[in-house]
Structures are given as structure tokens and as C-alpha cells.
């Protein structure tokens, strides 16, 4: 007769398991290091993005201010030199629609001639540039050169020079 199959007794202490056991000591420290490094990388990436955005906005603001200074300066030079047709040509489309060249020339020629001027910084929200003007008679005024953008070129154009 065959003896019934009896299972082998369990192995004793010091026997290796059939799979490697995960390390237990230092597990929390490795997780903390991993999370810390991940947070540091995220901070570097986001901080670099914010720095780039600030640099870009500062650069664009300077470029807009420079372009506005050129446009307003050219317009004021034309008024100073009493070249009213040239000044009219620098106006934005809306200003040209509101006033014919003859009406513009008549209105501007009645103003005191501009002797000198000093421009301030462009206000990007309201899109005007403050201008301190000294007239040939010695009077002074603080004016605002309101700007618009040419729809074709995107460049600034003077729409009005007023108080």
C-alpha cells in the first residue's frame, strides 16, 4: 500500500523567501527626499516662468513707450514747424473721419505756436502720453496726447492733443 502523501515540514529560521523582501528601514526618508526634490524642481520651473513673464512685460512696456515717444514727438515737431498738413497725416483714422484737413488746419492755426515740449511716460491703460508744452508767448500747459493704433500696421497714431 502506498502511504498517503504527507507535506514536508516548514523550513526553519534563516531560510530565504522565494522573493526579495522590500527594505523597511529608511522608507519615510526616501519619500521625503523625493517629494522635496520634486517640489524644488516645480518651484524652479514656475519661478523661471514668472521671471520670464515679468521680463517680457517690462520689455514690451518699454517698447510701447519708445514707440509712443517717437510718434508723439514727430507730431509735436510738425505742429512746432507749422506743418499742419503733415501733422494731419499723422492722425489716427477716427480723428481724420471727425475732421477734414481744412477744418483741422483752421483749428490748429488758431492755437499759439508751440515753442518747446517735454513728454512723460505712456499710460498703457488709458493710452495717452502726458506732454508739458511751452507756447511761444511763454504760457505753459499740461496736455495729453491720446493715441490709437493703426489697424493695418499696429503702430501708434495721435488721435487728439488736449487737456
Which domains, and CATH codes, for the chain?
32-162 (3.10.450.50)
- The pLDDT score that the predictor gives to residue 129 is 94
Band (3; pLDDT cuts 50, 70, 90): low
C-alpha to C-alpha distances, 3 to 6, 10, 19, 115, nearest whole angstrom = 8, 20, 33, 125
Tell me the pTM.
Answer: 0.66
Band (28; pLDDT cuts 50, 70, 90): confident
Cα–Cα dist 77/114, whole Å: 9
Average pLDDT in the 46-65 region? 79
Average pLDDT in the 83-99 region? 93
Cα–Cα dist 147/127, whole Å: 6
Which tops the pLDDT comparison, 114 or 47?
A: 114
pLDDT digits (tens, 9 = 90+) for 118-145: 999 999 889 999 999 999 888 999 999 9
pLDDT at 1 over 60: no
Which tops the pLDDT comparison, 113 or 55?
A: 113
Nearest to 112 by CA among 77, 147, 78, 82: 82
Average pLDDT in the 67-81 region? 94
Amino acid at each position: 500500500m502506498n502511504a498517503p502523501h504527507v507535506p514536508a515540514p516548514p523550513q526553519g529560521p534563516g531560510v530565504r523567501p522565494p522573493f526579495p523582501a522590500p527594505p523597511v528601514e529608511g522608507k519615510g526618508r526616501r519619500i521625503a527626499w523625493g517629494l522635496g526634490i520634486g517640489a524644488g524642481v516645480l518651484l524652479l520651473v514656475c519661478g523661471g516662468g514668472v521671471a520670464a513673464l515679468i521680463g517680457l512685460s517690462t520689455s514690451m512696456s518699454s517698447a510701447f513707450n519708445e514707440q509712443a515717444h517717437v510718434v508723439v514727438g514727430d507730431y509735436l515737431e510738425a505742429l512746432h514747424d507749422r506743418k499742419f498738413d503733415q501733422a494731419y497725416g499723422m492722425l489716427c483714422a477716427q480723428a481724420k473721419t471727425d475732421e477734414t484737413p481744412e477744418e483741422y488746419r483752421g483749428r490748429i492755426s488758431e492755437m499759439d505756436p508751440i515753442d518747446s515740449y517735454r513728454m512723460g511716460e505712456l499710460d498703457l491703460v488709458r493710452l495717452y502720453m502726458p506732454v508739458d508744452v511751452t507756447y511761444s508767448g511763454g504760457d505753459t500747459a499740461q496736455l495729453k496726447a491720446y493715441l490709437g493704433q493703426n489697424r493695418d500696421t499696429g503702430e501708434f497714431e495721435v488721435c487728439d492733443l488736449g487737456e
